[in-house]
Chains A and B, each alone.
Chain A
């Protein structure tokens, strides 16, 4: 019995290792390149680790000189300022969209998940349909509308578009979450002296923290990763977010080592957000209906 258990464990660990490799190898390669000089990357076989480790690709993104192999002076990367602006814009847009999404979606999901009322099913279907709608079909009309409304190339213009993507998704996820919470929990809160509103923020929301944290990460990632709408609605403006900026840099102005360093900078905020929220998300599976 115990040997079988051990065999099972070994298999699980091997599988976990494979999944980890699958996820982490590309990221490792990105880090690898970002710490290399361009010369080393261009040698016959790219090394599995930087033989001549350097921070120069990062330093040069911040408008500074660096010293290359053989004492060569490496100039600042000209596109660095756009990368920095892109990061700032992405942080602003994702940082504003995420809390707004939660603020709008939570009450909506709570009501849809908890109460039966006329047209509830129609509303739920409409929300689901908005997820089934191909975003690409909307971009030209959206471009025209945002141009005439003066929303094109602005942070709030992007936030509004992103809310239309994140809110339905988060409503959809949280609806199921709220619906699965035991109803007696709310009855108990009412008997314990909470008004309907107090019940929501003193009992339902704290109980739902794991789901809310997961939704926050999902919303943040959706916004952070978006290329299509940012490219369409913010190209040529000072509100351009990170992904299109990186794309410009990669195709037009830089070496892969430099672009790798820029990409690592773009991954960091997501990693930090995920790390901050993971302590709640980890509890996701133990919210059993007591």
Chain B
């Protein structure tokens, strides 16, 4: 394996794996983190994102593979010798020091002079609006204040890499939203590479430059939030990303212009010919899995003919300016989001159409998205 040639300060994980005994936490991870970007590692618990972060921090050593910080190999360099700062889910502030002592701790350990420490602490506390807390004890702070202090503590060193491990998960929802905005602002101001770990796709989508989605120790997909939403690599990513679950509809497309059998074949609808052609160009199989996001399911009171499916409103949720319908089609269900102007009642018979240009198709076996 040779030294990466790309951008001098990019961080590169080269075939990194981590095993705990017989358990594989991270499997052959290939990931490049660009200089000064905010990358979010996203995945459900146990997907290996925290282990990956610990390896970047130097708190865990990879079982195999290499980690490069720019042109510096850091694979086996311990945490204290990497230029990395970290914000922990549990804040991890030192209870025996006050706020000032906590923020300055990392600088002091590295032998920074007192004047410089004082100056940096005052700069960073200004940036995070915590100047008035500097002489408080940690035990006197609220959860949100503690998290600000722990961010200040990490940022004050102007690290090469800034890691945040689920930093907002022990903070209430309103403050969490505020801090998200804050993180984006701070990232813009300090211009440091940041890696942010979370299991919350909404959080990931709202702050990331790029999102790396992990599952079961494997990297599923890396990309900007919108591309993950519009062009998920596979069915799993399609289902994981997005506030409402994507409808998964197994389909047998049949003949061009004919009827397609949906679900277990219990209902049929006419597939858009353009869609059929695009799928046919991508695969020989007529059996595919359709992924239809709820906003691309159209609900109307009247049938448009063979392209409409008869359905019944099972439940509905008002989401403010939108309504989320759970529609029953035989024994199957579809979710649909419509504007709140068109309002259907529970148990009302309705007709469902797909917005075909926006319907995704996945290989029925591999579940990879077909490029249509």
Contacts and interface: CB of A to CB of B under 8 A. Distances in A.
A-B interaction: yes
Interface of A: 182, 184-185, 187-195, 198, 202-203, 206-207, 209, 286-290
Contacts of A182: 90, 92
B311 interface: no
Given A188-B88, A191-B84, A207 B94 contact: yes
B110 interface: yes
Given A184-B88, A207-B94, A290-B90, A190 B78 contact: yes
A202 B86 CA distance: 18
B105 interface: yes
Contact of A290 (B80, B84, B92): B92
A7 B358 CA distance: 69
A184 B90 contact: yes
A182 to B, nearest CB: 5
A184 B95 contact: no
A190 B58 contact: yes
B113 to A, nearest CB: 15
B106 A290 contact: no
A121 B199 CA distance: 35
| A-B pairs with lowest CB-CB distance, top 9 | A192-B106, A188-B92, A184-B92, A193-B109, A190-B79, A206-B96, A184-B88, A191-B86, A193-B80
A192 B92 CA distance: 11
Contacts of B110: 193
Interface in B37-94: 54, 57-59, 78-80, 84-86, 88-94
B95 A187 contact: no
A185 B94 contact: yes
Given A187-B88, A193-B80, A194-B80, A203 B59 contact: no
Contact of B90 (A191, A193, A203, A289): A289
B283 to A, nearest CB: 47
B121 to A, nearest CB: 14
B138 interface: yes
Which of A202, A203, A207, A290 has most chain B Cβ within 10 Å? Answer: A290
21 contacts: A187-B88, A190-B57, A190-B80, A191-B79, A191-B85, A192-B105, A192-B106, A193-B106, A193-B110, A194-B109, A195-B78, A195-B80, A209-B96, A286-B139, A287-B95, A288-B139, A289-B90, A290-B91, A290-B92, A290-B93, A290-B139
Contacts of B94: 185, 188-189, 203, 206-207
Given A191-B106, A194-B80, 6 more contacts: A187-B86, A191-B57, A191-B84, A192-B80, A192-B153, A193-B109
A191 to B, nearest CB: 5
Contacts of A191: 57-59, 79-80, 84-86, 106, 163
A189 B86 CA distance: 10
A192 B109 contact: yes
Contacts of A203: 94
Interface residues of B, number: 28
Which of A193, A203, A287 has most chain B Cβ within 10 Å? Answer: A193
B146 interface: yes
B95 A290 contact: yes
A207 B96 contact: yes
Nearest to A182: B90
Nearest to B146: A290
Nearest to A198: B109
A14 to B, nearest CB: 31
Contacts of A290: 90-93, 95, 138-139, 146
Nearest to A195: B80
B96 A187 contact: no
Nearest to B57: A191
A212 to B, nearest CB: 12
Given A193-B106, A207-B96, A290-B146, A187 B80 contact: no
A280 to B, nearest CB: 10
A195 B59 CA distance: 12
Interface string B271-296: 00000000000000000000000000
A246 B66 CA distance: 70
B39 to A, nearest CB: 18
Nearest to A202: B109
Which of A187, A198, A288 has most chain B Cβ within 10 Å? Answer: A187
Nearest to A190: B79
Contacts of A190: 57-59, 78-80
Contacts of B80: 190-195, 198
A187 B139 contact: no
A195 B109 CA distance: 10
Interface in B167-192: none
B241 to A, nearest CB: 29
A289 B92 CA distance: 9
B106 A187 contact: no
A189 B79 CA distance: 9
Nearest to B97: A206
A202 B96 CA distance: 10
A193 B89 CA distance: 19
A187 B92 contact: yes
Contacts of A198: 80, 109
